[in-house]
Amino acid sequence: MLIVLFCLVSCQNQTCDNKGSDNNTSEVTSEASKETSKSRYAIKSGIVEYKTEIMGMATKQTLTFDDYGKKEATDVEMEMMGTKIHTVTITRDGFIYTLDMHKKTGTKINGNSPNIDFENLSEQIVNDMNLKKEGKEEFLGKTCEKISIDYTKMKMKGTFLVYKGVALKVDTDMGTMKMKLVADKFVENPEIPAEKFEIPADITITVN
């Protein structure tokens, strides 16, 4: 469910520059119009551990990325109605691999990371989702950009705290579905082993 929520918001690329803090859409649009490096994150690598709550259910999530986001893995563990769920989503080389770590199965599709690309925001998305800069906010010892969203099409409202393209805190409301994603540990520019983005040998992959 968590990945689905991110996909709803990240149908197209998004960005969040750390310059300026005026509370208006035009400023975000201006920053989005500038030429960007196309890197998903403004740091080479990172590990973010989150405490997550989706519709009252506690979830453990870890985001690991390298090469400025060209390689990314999102590990999610939760329990739903007594059933333990453990999924890993790996993005690399233009493909998304979604793995069920209990069933030892997975799928492979063309696509980019389902996580929001705050470093490459298009003007259209800024306008469609009514994204606004709401100033700066300190979180986990980092000066983050606070971005609000009022996405009428998906009935989504909320805020993001973003540091160098990394969402450290997400608080969104889609009517009856509420999601809070709060980082409690963030390691900036660690060495990431290559095998972190490899598909385990015991996973059977289906290409869609």
CATH number at residue 61: 2.50.20
Residue 191 located in a structural domain: no
Q: 139 or 25: which carries more pLDDT confidence?
A: 139
Distance separating alpha carbons of residues 156 and 119, to the nearest angstrom: 21
Residue 190 located in a structural domain: no
Residue 11 located in a structural domain: yes
* Cα dihedral 76, 65, 111, 120 sign: positive
Residue 200 located in a structural domain: no
pLDDT for 150 equals 93
Residue 195 located in a structural domain: no
Residue 193 located in a structural domain: no
Cα 41-70-96 angle, rounded to 5 deg: 120
Whether this model's pTM surpasses 0.85: no
Residue 201 located in a structural domain: no
Alpha helices in the chain (DSSP H): 2-9, 25-33, 123-128
pLDDT for 74 equals 95
Question: Chain-wide mean pLDDT for the chain?
Answer: 83
Domain span at 35: 2-184
Instruction: Please tell me the total count of domains within the chain.
Output: 1
Q: 183 or 57: which carries more pLDDT confidence?
A: 183
Residues linked to residue 84 through DSSP beta bridges, in sequence order: 79
pLDDT for 69 equals 96
Residue 198 located in a structural domain: no
